[in-house]
């Protein structure tokens, strides 16, 4: 069968495309302009016509995906802005919500062969600011960020603008499916990953790390460039997952019948930035050691995520997820080559 992947040139999406192709699927990937598709074509040239790249210039125009959804058995919607430099929160919210609804509407009307739609959401839609340490599972929805942004608008924290965009997009998807239940021939699965790290396959302009996607740029700046102080490294961090494990989860989300109608946290576990700095320093001692007084065993993880629902449905165990050491080694190896 053929699978549609939106935002196919993005960091996570390229790994999803790779995993799909390796498993024998044909892939139709959408990009915003022809040049954005050329690196993708080049990367997967051995697969020939099994990868088709189509241009959807503006995903929020009506019927944007009408042609793209025709004939595919599954859709993976990843396209959404990921950055923290929006002034007006609508810079994030409009494409996040509008893009999601656009995919859903096209799938409703023209996706007659579609069996399943998978949306890349985020732990940003799960976590909620809480004065007490807390373990979050799929029952939790981050409506607090939405309220913050409603209240403060442009003055809201950048992270809340992003979190609100993802929460509103995911909420919109669930409402759409609930309202149209009788008219749609497919079901919805949502994946909620925390920070995603790992090797990079997407095009990085002029090989300049500053053109990395947001999560890998943050990784590069904190682990290699040491742009943060010791206090930050030892105290800040949430949870993480390797991009390749997340890509596999997307493909399983298409395949597992029982996944339908569910959201799944996909997380390898908590981290502080110093854990990543230490892992990198252990592999390459020329990299900065960071905060040498940091003690990982006493680090407090305020927000944790329970990923056991995905374990049950996808047959994951903790051992399925790549370790911090393995992921770090693979990233460093890649950065060295470039």
Binding residues vs ligand NDP (CB under 6 A):
7, 9-13, 32, 36, 59, 78-82, 95, 99, 120, 122, 166, 193, 195-196, 202, 213, 215
Strand partners for 77: 6, 119
Lookup: tokens for 9 = 């040139």
Q: By C-beta, is 34 or 131 nearer to ligand NDP?
A: 34
Sheet holding 51-55, edge to edge: 51-55, 26-31, 2-6, 74-77, 116-120, 187-192, 263-265
Q: By C-beta, is 198 or 290 nearer to ligand NDP?
A: 198
Q: By C-beta, is 10 or 89 nearer to ligand NDP?
A: 10
- Least distance in Å: CB of 229 to ligand NDP? 23
- Least distance in Å: CB of 102 to ligand NDP? 10
Instruction: State how far the Cα of 206 lies from the Cα of 86, in Å rounded to an integer.
Output: 24
Instruction: State how far the Cα of 170 lies from the Cα of 121, in Å rounded to an integer.
Output: 7
- Least distance in Å: CB of 297 to ligand NDP? 26
Q: Is the distance from CB of 124 to CB of 160 less than 8 angstroms? A: no
- Least distance in Å: CB of 286 to ligand NDP? 27
- Least distance in Å: CB of 79 to ligand NDP? 4
The secondary structure element, H or E, covering residue 314 is helix 308-314
Q: By C-beta, is 94 or 293 nearer to ligand NDP?
A: 94
Instruction: State how far the Cα of 160 lies from the Cα of 216, in Å rounded to an integer.
Output: 20
Q: By C-beta, is 120 or 274 nearer to ligand NDP?
A: 120
Residues 6+ positions from 45 with CB-CB distance below 8 Å: none
Lookup: tokens for 292 = 């040498």
Task: Give the residue nearest to ligand NDP (CB).
Answer: 10
């Amino acid at each position: 069968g053929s699978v549609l992947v939106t935002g196919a040139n993005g960091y996570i999406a390229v790994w999803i495309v790779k995993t799909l192709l390796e498993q024998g699927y044909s892939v139709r990937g959408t990009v915003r302009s022809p040049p954005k598709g050329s690196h993708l074509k080049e990367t997967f040239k051995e697969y020939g016509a099994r990868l088709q790249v189509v241009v959807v210039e503006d995903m929020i125009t009506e019927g944007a995906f009408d042609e793209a959804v025709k004939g595919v058995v599954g859709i993976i919607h990843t396209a959404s802005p990921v950055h923290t430099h929006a002034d007006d929160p609508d810079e994030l919210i409009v494409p996040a919500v509008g893009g999601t609804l656009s995919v859903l509407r096209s799938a409703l009307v023209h996706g007659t062969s579609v069996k399943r739609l998978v949306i890349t959401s985020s732990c940003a839609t799960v976590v909620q600011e809480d004065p007490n340490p807390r373990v979050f599972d799929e029952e939790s929805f981050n409506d607090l960020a939405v309220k913050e942004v409603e209240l403060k608008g442009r003055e809201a924290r950048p992270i809340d603008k992003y979190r609100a965009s993802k929460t509103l997009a995911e909420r919109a998807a669930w409402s759409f499916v609930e309202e149209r239940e009788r008219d749609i021939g497919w079901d919805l699965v949502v994946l909620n990953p925390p920070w995603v790290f790992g090797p990079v396959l997407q095009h990085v302009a002029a090989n300049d790390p500053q053109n990395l996607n947001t999560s890998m740029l943050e990784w590069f700046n904190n682990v290699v460039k040491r742009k943060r102080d010791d206090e930050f490294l030892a105290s800040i961090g949430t949870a993480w997952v390797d991009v390749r494990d997340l890509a596999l989860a997307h493909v399983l989300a298409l395949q597992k019948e029982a996944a339908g109608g569910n959201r799944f946290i996909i997380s390898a576990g908590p981290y502080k930035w110093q854990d990543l700095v230490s892992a990198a320093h252990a592999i390459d001692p020329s990299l900065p050691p960071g905060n040498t007084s940091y003690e990982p065993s006493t680090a407090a993880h305020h927000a944790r995520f329970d990923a056991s629902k995905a374990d049950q449905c996808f047959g994951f165990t903790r051992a399925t997820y790549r370790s911090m050491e393995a992921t770090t080694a693979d990233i460093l190896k890649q950065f060295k080559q470039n």
